[in-house]
Amino acid sequence: MTHADPSSPLQALARIRPDVRAMHAYAVQPATGMLKMDAMENPFRLPAHLQAALGQRLGALALNRYPGERMADLQAALARHAGMPEGHRIVLGNGSDELIGLVSLACARPGTGERPVVLAPVPGFVMYAMSAQLQGLDFVGVPLTPDFALDEPAMLAAIARHRPAITFIAYPNNPTATLWDEGAVQRIIDAAGAQGGIVVMDEAYQPFASRTWIDRMRAEPARNAHVLLMRTLSKFGLAGVRLGYLIGAAALVAEIDKVRPPYNVSVLNCEAALFALEHAEVFAAQAAELRAQRTELLAALRAMPGVEKVWDSQANMVLVRVADSAKAYEGMKTRKVLVKNVSTMHPLLANCLRLTVGAAEDNNQMLAALQASL
């Protein structure tokens, strides 16, 4: 009996899907010793007394048991926190990323030769296209206007042409930080619903936005019955906890729940999220401080020579255009400040940098590094 050379994995690699082998893994930039302003994280730690209280809570958990009834407690707490409408249901995810994947998985048609369409405005969150590809759906991106507004006629034409199974609308959008016109969004939702599609409203940045789609779901439930509202606790202040949630009509959410791994949220994640919701006022104050800092940051960027364009923001990030984004990015990195060079994501983002809104001290350091790098 002959054996394959164990030092060569090439035969086994051939079993990996060609499209996966052609992909790049999601890269997280090394940040040791850097001021991290590239990932829209909340800069504020829990106060010391709450750290101690949370430590006691987590230390007392039965880690030898699978997650149980506390998941229902967390669902109820999140439903209250979000103001979930009557007749709706909630499902938990390991961050929004998992929920995007679950919605895609639930709509995929393996073995049928059919490739349902996922549609979203671009530039947008990269996981919409990535999840579509991995689950065997086709992704159609509809470009925004040059000023990053929704191109409503183009969106409506794409919906009529492609009849998407899923339409993702980020509200506000990443990386542009724009909160699109409410009337245009509703008309797009209506068009998607008229041909039997699902709309996922991604409200990852809701703590920093001036409005939320859940108000429209409550005001006109029948008109928004095909809408799934997705949120995360990452921007709330718990990026390390990895907890997202999806709210929608009970019958629709029940189907998404069927493809969810049974223990996808750990007891540690669950308890940390419950603890945070019990102290929601602490996180609300942090969000208010970041909104105030955003106003100051926007003003400082608009006054800075060499910054060509600064877009309004409804999130905890600001998009700017400079003459040479690669040079500015590398210059800031040399000065120990990490931001996101988004210029290669889409032609509309040429020479654009995405800056996280941080605490006053962090913002000042970031501004100084940017000014020195232009």
Domain harbouring 135, CATH code: 3.40.640.10
Indicate whether 346 belongs to any domain: yes
- Total count of residues recorded for the chain: 374
| Domain end (from 258, 278, 298) | 278
Domain harbouring 343, CATH code: 3.90.1150.10
Indicate whether 38 belongs to any domain: yes
16 shares its domain with 43: yes
Compute the C-alpha angle 326/327/333, nearest 5°.
90
129 shares its domain with 272: yes
Indicate whether 57 belongs to any domain: no
203 shares its domain with 232: yes
**The whole model's pTM is what?**
0.94
144 shares its domain with 212: yes
- Both structure tokens of 243: 């907890």
273 shares its domain with 287: no
CA dihedral 165, 171, 173, 177 (to 10 degrees): 170
247 CA to centre of own chain: 15
The whole-number pLDDT of residue 236 equals: 86
Contact 284, 140 (CB under 8 A): no
264 shares its domain with 290: no
Taking the chain (374 residues) in runs of 10, the rounded mean pLDDT of each run is 61 90 84 94 95 97 95 98 96 96 96 95 96 96 97 98 98 97 98 98 97 97 97 91 97 98 96 97 96 98 98 98 98 98 97 98 98 97
Indicate whether 311 belongs to any domain: yes
Indicate whether 60 belongs to any domain: no
Distances (CA, A) of 206 to 49, 99, 199, 212, 237: 27, 17, 17, 7, 12
Domain that holds residue 349: 10-48+281-373
Place of tokens 């029940």: 254
Strand 340-341 versus strand 352-356 pairing type: antiparallel
Indicate whether 246 belongs to any domain: yes
The rounded distance, in Å, linking the Cα atoms of 360 and 149 is: 29
The whole-number pLDDT of residue 328 equals: 98
- Both structure tokens of 174: 């990443």
The rounded distance, in Å, linking the Cα atoms of 344 and 235 is: 24
Pick from 198, 242, 211, 208: nearest CA to 96 = 242
100 shares its domain with 237: yes
As beta bridge partners, residue 356 has 317
Q: Count CB atoms within 10 A of the CB of residue 288.
A: 12
- Both structure tokens of 21: 């082998």
Number of compact structural domains in the chain: 2
Indicate whether 338 belongs to any domain: yes
| Domain end (from 252, 278, 304) | 278
Cβ neighbourhood burial of 347 (10 Å; 0-12, 13-18, 19+): exposed
326 shares its domain with 237: no
- Both structure tokens of 24: 């790049």
300 shares its domain with 362: yes
181 shares its domain with 326: no
User: Residue 181 carries which side chain, given as an amino acid letter?
Assistant: D
Indicate whether 21 belongs to any domain: yes
305 shares its domain with 227: no
Place of tokens 């439930």: 221
78 shares its domain with 223: yes
Q: Read off the DSSP letter of residue 8.
A: -
| Domain end (from 278, 307, 336) | 278
